[in-house]
């Protein structure tokens, strides 16, 4: 916890949180973008709210990914350059504790960022939902709808706004980036520079996001209905080496109004915890062979 607190202070001093100002401006600009005007008045408001969710969640994912990789890749080289690393490791501090504290500090900072961005998006959805509900009542009234006939469309509009499923998808996003944090920390333990670590981490993230499609394409190319037993083992080993980050991407399902549930998020938390522990153990083993 002490190392995590120092790491959080370092990240604040690096002013990486300034990206939140850019996100705030971007969320404000969402109100003025053109929407799906060709849709009927019954569904136009729902389409607008889903559009705001899609763009807002995409911005959150992009900023969190860049922050996660950049902040983690900078930690060990900066500690070595400032000689903080030597000061810590000359004391009775296990190297696992040092690495776990670094990862925890980045995860806490990223959690703060996601909470702030989530608050901005939720506020925007709340304000837009209220104004769109009023516009929908007026438009439907002009088309001869009664109050009873308007009710189902207004309920769909409310469901398309901020919801529990949306919050669960953002929590799953945080779990995925916690795995990316520990994976980037592992890579930075054996690479020679910050830029190289960032390139490897981003490359692994995009490979992990599409590894399901990769193995599906291999099965299609072989002419089989599915993967062979050997390729299934290759897929399992590949999934251990490079996490399947797509399983943590529930934002599309939430934006489409699909139910997620706490059981799914709890399962993802167990998967994320297993990956983080595995990455920290391997990173500690590599780190133990370095002379500091």
* Residue 257 backbone zone (phi > 0: left; psi -120 to 50: alpha; other: beta): left
Confidence of residue 269 (pLDDT cuts 50, 70, 90): very high
Examine the pLDDT at 43 and tell me if it is beyond 70: no
**Which of 2, 217, 211 shows the shortest CA–CA distance to 98?**
2
Number of CB atoms found within 10 A of residue 274's CB: 13
Residue the block writes with tokens 């690479």: 191
Q: Which of 135 and 206 is assigned the larger pLDDT?
A: 206
Examine the pLDDT at 42 and tell me if it is beyond 70: no
Residues 6+ apart with CB under 8 A from 44: 35, 36, 37, 136
Examine the pLDDT at 166 and tell me if it is beyond 60: yes
pLDDT tens-digit map of 113-130:
888 888 888 888 787 777
pLDDT tens-digit map of 242-254:
888 888 887 666 6
Structure tokens at 241: 């080496």
As a whole number, mean pLDDT of residues 179-184 equals: 92
Q: Are 235 and 214 in contact (CB under 8 A)?
A: no
Structure tokens at 20: 């939140």
Q: Are 67 and 110 in contact (CB under 8 A)?
A: yes
Collapsing DSSP to helix, strand or coil, 26 comes out as: helix
Q: Which of 38 and 289 is assigned the larger pLDDT?
A: 289
Number of CB atoms found within 10 A of residue 169's CB: 23
Structure tokens at 185: 């920390």
Q: Are 181 and 279 in contact (CB under 8 A)?
A: no
Residue 259 carries which DSSP code?
Answer: -
First to last CA, the chain: 22
**Which of 205, 186, 203, 174 shows the shortest CA–CA distance to 272?**
174
Residue 275 has what pLDDT? 92
pLDDT tens-digit map of 47-72:
777 777 877 888 888 888 888 888 88
Residue 180 has what pLDDT? 93
Q: What angle do CA 263, 266, 267 make, to 5 degrees?
A: 90
Structure tokens at 195: 């830029």
Residue 73 has what pLDDT? 86
Q: Are 126 and 163 in contact (CB under 8 A)?
A: no
Residue 143 carries which DSSP code?
Answer: T
Confidence of residue 174 (pLDDT cuts 50, 70, 90): very high
Q: Is 153 exposed, middle or buried (0-12, 13-18, 19+ CB in 10 A)?
A: buried
From the DSSP assignment, how many helices (H) and strands (E) are in the chain?
Answer: 12, 0
Q: Are 99 and 283 in contact (CB under 8 A)?
A: yes
- Residues comprising the chain, all counted: 292
Structure tokens at 41: 């008045």
Distance separating alpha carbons of residues 270 and 209, to the nearest angstrom: 19
């Amino acid at each position: 916890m002490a190392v995590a607190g120092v790491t959080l202070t370092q990240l604040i001093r690096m002013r990486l949180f300034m990206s939140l100002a850019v996100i705030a401006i971007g969320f404000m600009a969402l109100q003025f973008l053109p929407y799906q005007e060709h849709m009927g008045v019954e569904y136009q408001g729902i389409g607008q709210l889903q559009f705001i969710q899609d763009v807002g969640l995409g911005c959150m994912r992009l900023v969190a990914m860049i922050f996660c990789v950049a902040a983690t890749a900078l930690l060990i080289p900066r500690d070595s350059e400032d000689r903080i690393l030597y000061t810590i490791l000359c004391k009775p501090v296990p190297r696992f504790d040092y690495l776990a504290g670094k990862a925890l500090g980045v995860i806490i900072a990223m959690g703060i960022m996601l909470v702030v961005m989530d608050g901005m998006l939720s506020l925007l959805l709340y304000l837009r939902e209220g104004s769109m509900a009023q516009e929908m009542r007026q438009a439907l009234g002009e088309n001869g709808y009664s109050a009873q006939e308007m009710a189902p469309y207004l309920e769909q509009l409310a469901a398309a706004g901020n919801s529990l499923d949306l919050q669960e998808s953002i929590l799953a996003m945080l779990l995925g980036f916690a795995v990316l944090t520990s994976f980037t920390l592992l890579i930075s333990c054996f690479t020679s520079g910050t830029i190289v670590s960032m390139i490897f981490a981003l490359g692994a993230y995009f490979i992990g996001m599409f590894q399901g499609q990769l193995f599906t394409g291999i099965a299609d190319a072989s002419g089989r209905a599915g993967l062979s037993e050997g390729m299934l083992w290759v897929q399992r080993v590949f999934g251990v080496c490079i996490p399947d980050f797509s399983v943590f991407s529930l934002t599309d399902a939430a934006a489409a109004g699909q139910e997620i549930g706490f059981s799914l998020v709890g399962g993802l938390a167990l998967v994320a915890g297993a990956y983080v522990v595995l990455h920290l153990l391997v990173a500690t083993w590599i780190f133990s062979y370095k002379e500091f």
